[in-house]
Amino acid sequence: MRPPTGIGAVLSALTLLSVGTGATPTPPHSRFGRGGDVIRGVNLGGLFVLEPWITPSLFKQWDSNNPYVVDEWTYCGALGKDECHRRLTAHWGAWVTEADIRELASYGLNHVRIPIGYWAFTVKDDEPYVQGQVPFLERVLGWVGKYGLNAVIDLHGVPGSQNGFDNSGHRGDVGWQWAQENIDRSLAAVDAIAGIAQKHRDVVDAIELVNEPANWGLSMDGVLDYYKTAYTRFRRIAPSTIMVIHDAFLSPAQWPMFNVAGWENVILDTHNYHVFVKDRLLMSRRQHLEATCQDAVHVRDFNTQLWTITGEWSLAVTDCARWLNGFGRGARWDGSMDWEMHGPAVPGATCAGQNSMSSWDQPTRIFFRQFAEAQMDAYEAGSGWFFWNFKTEDADDWNYMKLAKAGLVPSPPTDRVYSRYSLVPDRWNIKPSARPQAPPPGPVESAAPIRGVSLGGLFVLEPWITPSLFEPWAAQPESPVVDEWSYCVALGKLECGARLARHWGDWVQETDVATLAGLGINTLRIPIGYWALAPDASEPYVQGQIPYLEQVLVWAGHYGMRVVLDLHGAPGSQNGFDNSGRRGDISWSKRASDLPRTLDALAMLAQIANRHRAVVAIQAVNEPANWGVPKATVVQFYQQAYDRVKTIAPQVAVVFHDAFLPAAEWADLVPQNMTDTILDTHIYHVFDDNTLALTAEAHASKACADGQQIAQFNQQTRTICGEFSLATTDCARWLNGFQRGARWDGTHLRTTPIAPGLSCDGKESIGAWTQGKRAALRRFAMAQLEAYERGTGWIFWNFKTESADAWNYIKLAQAGIIPNPPVGRSFGVCPR
């Protein structure tokens, strides 16, 4: 159960990035017994640890006359050991039956989590608890194995109570760490559970060391010490059993403390309820769904460090289940429990019918099915989930079996109607490449120049690169959807997150990286927006990019490639282009928070760089526009960015764009005290009338002249052409912005084309190009590659596109228009 304190507002993805180099998940094929890569399970709560709200019939005799009886400790204290043992023996034999396990298996589940208290293994004379649970536990394990499931045994209560909740066995003080004896007895219980796990090792694949230790009542150093000691002890008894540790209700920003160096086969367990904190309790139904999809970010990101499961969740959106907050206590929802609002959650709120399926109307039933699927999707972004609970006596929104029978949770769990995320495991798991690990890439200053491509359109949408994403608005006059900001505004975070998760998983594949390596590419430049790294909940952007980014970095490492991480969009927009995330005004640096947030985003990239040796450089910001951002501001920011990145990741170079300034002013951007820098200039031939009007030979000549400027400045500071293409027209659909035409044919903000009679027909399709056109473009490619290698190298924009072939490196190289290998120094097109 989640306590009446917790996270509150949904935390952003950036809080998960400060992860250490500790435990590493085992390859997915050896994960979770019969469950494979994803745990889909339920808790057998209320069996060996009593909770009044799960089985109120056991406590009803004290409903009005003895508030002292509130948990298993006081239950046995009131009855005496003989009567308590008699009643609980009957309960242990009846609450979970073989028929229950058979039914759970029929729903397509693969796991059960079995809570049990320490007193089943060690009881002192002055404690009221009774024993006898172990034979019933082993009987359940026999059924679990019989029906093809696996089990996690969960030490749900420890001496002194780890959280003060009734689910620890003893409601009240958090006294677990008050005496070393309590810790020792907890470890003894873990030893006993490990012995059972080893005996039933074909069924029990994990042990949870303690359920829900409360960080507000415990020393976290003490909790970690307990985890470390238990890890060593029980591994001697059950060496192949996975260890599960609870997050102690800490925020995701603090989860890295659990990533302990040297650990293997460890799961982090987090519990996610929507009823115990004000922020969640007051949500609308749509907000519950949106918050759930954002929760996916946390488990998905940390799952790359430790397997991360959501070990408890339910469909409850009110705390109206009788005694849910404790025996004799009311609910926040209707104000019958004293809490921070001192009244109902919303005016007129009532608990009548909230937990009874027979009272739910059709819209409520549809919502619960959507809520179930959303949570399953979200938690499978990590390593899976356990629903709380398999059944209850009264609270239907906590009763998986009843919900499954009514079709309010999918059976099997993969049979989803409203699913927003993919069920394909590759969407979520960073998997090793099929190719053996290549040697680490050389530094930027190694003998081979940078020969790279940008992975544009992956984490920053541009309508012209992936027009299919924007096609729904193509026919709408003056569409408000023109960039990633407005894309997410139009769809809402729920749908935007779903569509972009599919896109992130599809746009760059390992086969793309392998193909590029085979074409002689040695560097990938990966554009990403600030919103993936330093988000603001008030903005429409969604998060979840980081696992996909790290997957690409893994592939890059396997194929021996360098990577430049490029901060492509900054808060407020640094250039007003759609490639900054938001088309329109140039507002970057005008708000006090803009530059600090940009620096925070760079700090996150630096932390990622520390985890991936393929990363050799970080670009401070892409294309800050000197006409909208003063040069002095850019220079000041570059100095701060250099210091921030180098403090965290001293091994990477820092890349500065030239802010579209002429070469005579480049030196102003790179102070001499910054020694590990690269200047990036972007050279296109399609965004002004003069270059558009050039002949084929003049395009090649201009490239050679640009190379001379690069070569000259490269003597002072390493200089690359960080973006260029083979386009000699701006005819790519929406290249100048969504629904905007081209200068070439006069459809973009003008009445006449560049020259009379010009048309864009066929300009962007290799299939329509004549042999003469192909030969001219090959010479243009050779000129650019040769020219830019007079500096430190080049990065082509883009690795691929949906339709604009002059911007599609893979297609151009496979057609022989770009030479393979692209060794520009050998072409001899440009005069020396």
Q: Residue 809 and residue 517: Cα distance in Å, rounded?
A: 12
Residue 723 bears catalytic tag: no
Active site residue 478: no
Which one, of 85, 184, 187, 78, lies nearest residue 136 by Cα? 85
Q: Sign of the C-alpha dihedral, residues 467, 473, 477, 480?
A: negative
Separation CA 753–CA 157 (nearest Å): 77
Encoded tokens for 761: 């027909």
Question: How far are the Cα atoms of 143, 475, 491 from residue 188, in angstroms, in the given order?
Answer: 26, 69, 54
What CA–CA distance (Å, rounded) separates 76 from 616?
Answer: 64
Please list, in sequence order, all residues whose beta carbon lies within 8 angstroms of the beta carbon of residue 725, skipping any fewer than 6 positions away.
Answer: 684, 686, 796, 797, 798, 806, 807
- Please, which residues bridge with residue 267 across strands? 244, 307
- CA 141/CA 385 separation, integer angstroms: 19
Residue 392 backbone dihedrals phi, psi, to 5 degrees: -140, 165
Give the Cα separation of 398 and 193 in Å (integer). 27
By C-alpha distance, which of 739, 682, 700 is closest to 456? 682
Output the CA angle 313-319-324, nearest 5 degrees. 80
In one-letter notation, the amino acid at residue 800 is K
Q: Are 608 and 565 in contact (CB under 8 A)?
A: yes
CA distance 312 to 825: 60
Classify 207 as helix, strand or coil.
Answer: strand
Q: At what angle do helices 545-558 and 594-611 cross, to 10 degrees?
A: 40
Amino acid sitting at position 472: P
Rounded Cα–Cα distance for residues 428 and 426 (Å): 5
- Selected catalytic residue, list 51, 72, 290, 312: 312
Q: Token pair 């180099």 is at which residue?
A: 21
Given a contact cutoff of 8 angstroms between Cβ atoms, the answer to whether 11 and 252 are in contact is: yes
Which residues touch 173 (CB under 8 Å, ≥6 apart)? 160, 161, 164, 217
Under 8 Å between Cβ of 247 and 258:
yes
- Do 783 and 775 contact (CB within 8 A), yes or no? no
Q: Is the peptide bond before 135 cis (omega within 30 degrees of 0)?
A: no
Provide the token pair at 749. 């903000």
Query: Which member of 212, 462, 723, 786 is catalytic?
Result: 212
Contacts of residue 778, defined as CB under 8 A and 6 or more positions apart, other chains included, come to 816, 817, 818, 819
Q: Cα–Cα distance between 458 and 465 in angstroms, integer?
A: 10
Closest CA to 244 of 197, 211, 192, 208: 208
Longest Cα–Cα distance in the chain: 102
Residues noted as catalytic: 212, 312
